[in-house]
Amino acid sequence: MKRNSLVAYEDATPEVKAIYDEIMETMGEPEVFNVFKVLGANATILRAVWSMLKGTLIEGEIPPLLKQLILFRISVITGNKYCESLHAHAACNIDPTFTYDDLIALSEGQELEKLPSSFRVAIEIVTEAAINPKGIEDESFEFEEELRDEGFSESEIDELMAQAYFGVMMSLITDAYEIPLESPLPVPAL
C-alpha cells in the first residue's frame, strides 16, 4: 500500500486540479489538506471522498461546531492524530474561545459549561455509535429518543449519525495512508 504519497497541486491532472480548486474554495483554505493529496492519483476516489466530506461535514442543518466536536472526540478516542489535528483546527477556527485543552477535556467526557446540553448529548451518542455501533442496538440505549428530547429533528438525527460513519471512514483512510500532519495546524502533544 502506498503511504505518504501526496499529489501536489502542480503535479495533479486537470481533473484532480479542478477538484482541488473546489475543495480550497469551499473550505476557504489556501491549500488542499494532505488527506486529499494522498487520494490525488485517482480523481474518482478523490471526488467520492470529497463529496462525502462536503455532504456530511460542510452541508446540512447541524451546526458546524457540533460536527467538528464530534469528529474531534472520535479522533481522540481512536488515537487518530491526523484527524484530531484537523478537527481541532476547524473547531478553534469556528469558535476561537475554544482551546486545545477544552477540546481534550470534552473528549474525555468533561462537561464544558459553554456548550448547550444538546451538544453534549449528541457528542456522547454519536461517539458511541462510531466507536461501538453494536452498542446502539441495545434496547436500553434509546439514542433517537434522547436526541429528540434535545430538540433534534429526524433529519438532524440522520445527519448526526452520518458523523459517526464519516468519522470511522476518515480514520481508516488517514491511518492506512499514514498521512503526515499539516502545519501550522495545531499538532496534538504526542
Q: Give the pLDDT of residue 1.
A: 44
* Average pLDDT per 10 consecutive residues for the chain, totaling 190 residues: 79 98 93 94 96 94 96 94 91 90 88 89 92 71 86 95 92 90 56
Q: Given this model, what pLDDT does residue 153 score?
A: 95
pLDDT of residue 132: 84
What local confidence, expressed as pLDDT, does residue 189 receive? 42
pLDDT (0 to 100) of residue 188 = 45
Tell me the domain boundaries of the chain.
Answer: 9-58, 64-167
Q: Which three cell numbers stand for residue 72?
A: 474531534
Q: What count of other Cβ atoms lies within 10 Å of the Cβ of residue 67?
A: 26
Over residues 147-186, the pLDDT tens digits come to 999 999 999 999 999 999 999 999 999 998 888 888 755 4
pLDDT at 66: 97
Burial of 69 (0-12, 13-18, 19+ CB in 10 A): buried
- pTM of the entire predicted model: 0.88
For residue 9, how far is the Cα from the chain centroid? Answer: 23
**Rounded distance, CA 189 to CA 171, Å?**
18
Number of CB atoms found within 10 A of residue 163's CB: 26
162: how many CB neighbours lie within 10 A of its CB?
A: 18
